[in-house]
Amino acid sequence: MREIKVVKQVLEWNEDVSDQIKEVTSKKKVYIVNVIGSPGAGKTTLLTSLIEKLSPDFKIGIIEGDITETIDAQKIDELGIPVVQLQTQGACHIEAKSIECILPMFDLDNLDVIFIENIGNLVCPAEFNIGENLRIALLSVPEGDDKVVKYPLLFSTADCMVINKADMLPYFEFDVDRVKNDVKDVNKNCEIFNVSSRSGDGVVELSDYLKDKIKTGLE
């Protein structure tokens, strides 16, 4: 019997592919955004609002991640935006390998930014880098203001957090300051936006932030 020192990250296989994706998209000048939040947090609706604000400046593509079905992809397709529906057939998160397989389905020479709507889940997707340049964590008001403390990994790894459905604040006991404070405790650099995709409040601020990030990222 002999002991062999290994010291390799358990997720090395995913990290390697994630780095390869970054290499490809950086060459093609395509910026990747990973959008993570619970089922029903409003990821697709937020994306449709962002498409409206960002499409005059950027050519956008969307990857819709779901366990099954193509409902979300149809909504995006109706907007005339290139979209690929990724069905994980039960898996609770998207891995870099799936994105690597999907990227060739897009005409990358004709895109500036791809938004990936991850599987609705606050836990598992947070562990997997999928070649993104920016990670958005989405929390909607009806989910409750204790979610940052309960599911800290996502919020500690996000570049930016969106408190969505802000128009619901009068109807729920949701302490925005508490949430902001909890996020800053785990991630001091996280930018936080109050947004209502439905009323449109806060969408301009978020899209201005994204415009800056995408432009800087593509330089």
Contacting residues toward other proteins, per CB under 8 A: 1-14, 91-93, 95, 123-124, 126-128, 152-153, 156-157, 184-188
Which residue, 55 or 88, is less far from other proteins as judged by CB? 88
Tell the smallest beta-carbon distance from residue 89 to other proteins (Å). Answer: 13
Tell the smallest beta-carbon distance from residue 75 to other proteins (Å). Answer: 27
User: How far is the C-alpha of 43 from the C-alpha of 74, rounded, in Å?
Assistant: 14
Which residue, 49 or 187, is less far from other proteins as judged by CB? 187
Tell the smallest beta-carbon distance from residue 182 to other proteins (Å). Answer: 9
CA dihedral 203, 204, 210, 214 (to 10 degrees): 130
Tell the smallest beta-carbon distance from residue 82 to other proteins (Å). Answer: 28
User: How are strands ordered across the β-sheet holding 134-140?
Assistant: 83-87, 60-66, 113-117, 31-37, 134-140, 160-164, 191-194
Which residue, 8 or 27, is less far from other proteins as judged by CB? 8
C-alpha to C-alpha distances, 27 to 156, 210, 213, 217, nearest whole angstrom = 29, 20, 17, 12
Which residue, 154 or 203, is less far from other proteins as judged by CB? 154
Tell the smallest beta-carbon distance from residue 4 to other proteins (Å). Answer: 5
CB atoms within 10 A of CB 54: 21
Which residue, 17 or 114, is less far from other proteins as judged by CB? 17
Q: Which DSSP helix (H) or strand (E) runs through 193?
A: strand 191-194
Q: Which two three-digit tokens encode residue 161?
A: 């957090």
Amino acid making up residue 141: V
User: How far is the C-alpha of 118 from the C-alpha of 92, rounded, in Å?
Assistant: 9
Which residue, 118 or 164, is less far from other proteins as judged by CB? 118
Tell the smallest beta-carbon distance from residue 59 to other proteins (Å). Answer: 32
